[in-house]
Amino acid sequence: MTTHTSKYKVTDNFMPSDYLKYLKGKILAPRGFPWEFSNTVAYNKDNEHQDEDAKYNCYLMHEIFNDYTIRSPLHEDLLHIYKELDVRSLIRVRVLMYLNHGKQIIHQPHTDFMYSHKAALIYLNTNNGFTQFADADWMPEPQLDKDPNGEMRLYNYNPFWENSMEPFKTQDRVMSIENRLVVHDGSRPHSSSTCTDQTYRVLLSLNYT
């Protein structure tokens, strides 16, 4: 089943069940799958905020593709997903794992990249975590600037960074349901969260055009 809104598209039961089982078997193997620890979720200054939850701004990450380079053998296993998403050019692909800290943490709002592009989230387990999206009527402040290739792009520079939930008045959330796909514009603000009913919340995150 697919649901469209002005902000995102949600597709349940996105992958064939045997393919999903195969990917989860690799990613969630008891040993042998390399994870990298990151002590920030949204921004490098996450942990400078003077609130009691700042210490929980961390997660585990496995990088698959970044900086025009394949970083993991898992890239080959995702070719089916790339085809289904009609990917023309990859920007970044990662597996993300948010651990259960005993209470639900909503991370700082962020954008993946400050130019319009597609961002896909594929939830790999069901839990009470979620992704929260900026309000439909929230508008960024566009500004032309050069991208890493020297080409001019329209970037979304925003004044709300640094612990502002201004774009999230409606608290529009998509819950983490196993095998659910969410596609949205990665240049618009969104927030991740942890879960409290499972050991971890794990998902595939893809940025592409």
Would you state the pLDDT for residue 141?
Answer: 65
Q: Where are the domains of the chain?
A: 2-208
The amino acid occupying position 154 is L
User: Does CATH place domain 2-208 in 3.40.1130?
Assistant: no
Rounded to a whole number of angstroms, the distance between the first and last alpha carbons of the chain is 23
Would you state the pLDDT for residue 156?
Answer: 60
DSSP string, 11-22: ESS-S-HHHHHH
Would you state the pLDDT for residue 47?
Answer: 47
For residue 154, the surrounding DSSP H or E stretch is strand 152-157
Mean pLDDT for back-to-back runs of 10 residues, the chain (209 residues): 84 98 96 92 57 79 97 98 98 98 91 90 98 83 72 64 66 96 93 97 98
pTM over 0.75: yes
- Check if the beta carbon of residue 38 is closer than 8 Å to that of residue 56: no
Would you state the pLDDT for residue 55?
Answer: 76
Structure tokens at 32: 């042998």
